[in-house]
A and B are shown apart, each in its own frame.
Chain A
Amino acid sequence: MQEDFHYYATYCAAYLSGYSHSESLDICYSAQFVDLCSATYLTGIKAPAQAATTQLQMEMMNTRTDVTGLQNITRIWAPFHFLPRDLYATKDKKRPKKYMNKYRLICGPNGALVKDIVELAKGKPLQSVGIAMHVLADTWAHRNFAGTPSLVINNTDDEFYEFIAGEDGEQKRKIKFQHSLSAPDDLDKSIYTSSLYQRNEKNIMNLGHGRAGHLPDYSFIKYMYLPAWDDYRVMIKDNPSDYRHAFCQMIYAMKFIRGEIDSFETDVYDFAAIKDYEERIDGILRKRQLSASSDWKAFGEDLSGESIEDFDVNKYQKEYVDAPKDEKAGTFYGLFIDGAIAHKGLVCDRIYQSGNKLVGFVQEMKND
């Protein structure tokens, strides 16, 4: 997912769930900041790098993919962008543990961890709510890929087909991939950028959905492909439907966090909240465009009657840098950092407790 959904659509979902305009802005800022809070950024403002929620491309390229390096990568991408669906998943036929550890990190919606992270955000500052909403939304967009470098899980072949809606129904069109990062995706010709095929299991190119390019990040696209891990079964990914579910699940989750609902259950969506806007939301989700930011922004401004400022990554930087050491924790970034560390700790602990060491070791500190 990109800024259009993590920032503007999250604002809309927060507002629809009952948050005020300014609260919704804080939530959507935090949700989008998850995609920008790298170790480089944090060290630049003298904040703890352990709170990093993403990695810059260069950071990843400079990371050695030895055991420790892989744990560092997985500890960021699995909790924040590829939340595992089932840490105890099984396969029909027995597979080695090494394979299963990676298989069990495959991301997907409505897993036990989604419930855990939403419950963790309840009673916490708005920054934690934003983090949880980012992760929840990504479980829909990034499903079927894992937040660890793995050829056997994240690889795909080149046979991708896009379903184009027309007057005669849906038509299949072959997708062509290019590997130039500077070239923009060409939606009219179905030419998209993806990472290069690398035979090395642990190569960074095999992290997440790199091999499928930005397809998971576009709300409009419905496509089919062959994932490496699913025993030659063809996968159809219907993003408009998935994004609609993500949006309605965010509303439901935030109503729970606000205390309107007593318990949070997976596979529950607040479709009623968007009943009056169904057509408009569907139109935004299905519109073929590289970014839906302006459409979501217009929708959000119509909802609240307030202006939604553009996302500025440095909005709270000065506040944090200028704050005395003992007051940093109370700043916007300070609260975000606390939320990020708590979130990372929870997810890594669950992974570690499942017997999977791909995120390293987790140690519980007891407060007497």
Chain B
Amino acid sequence: MAVIKLSESKVNFIKDVCKSFGNKPGEVINVLHKVQGEYGYLSAEVQEVIANELNIPISRVYGIVSFYSFFTMTPKGRYPISICLGTACYVRGAEKVLDEFKRLLNIQVGGTTDDGKFSLNCLRCVGACGLAPVLTIGDKVYGRMTPDKVKEVIAEYN
């Protein structure tokens, strides 16, 4: 087994999370939610600690992390931008908004800016179709977006 290089406090946090779910293999998705909520992503090492604690093969943990789109193995930016590409947003021009973000931030979908500030992702429907096209930055929802407004939105975080 590989030597785990995570800090002790991080390892202890993960162990505590596993413990709070009774170290039960069936709780692995809840554990992953909690840990990603704290660190923003699930590195290979983190997955290894979880597998050990829940006494399941690491392949199973990885299988779950890679199956569900909510889990990520790469760190996100400080302000994660998610553009809704659900049908309602799509027919109201979400792709143009996405293109504008790509152009202004100079990153592709799934990428993070060099300074680690913004990352850009797509998601399928946040359920605010009334405000389509919609995007979220962190927990904040921006509705009725147009390519024109993209510059202003980015400026809010400068």
- Chain B binds chain A: no
Residue positions of A touching B, CB distance < 8 A: none
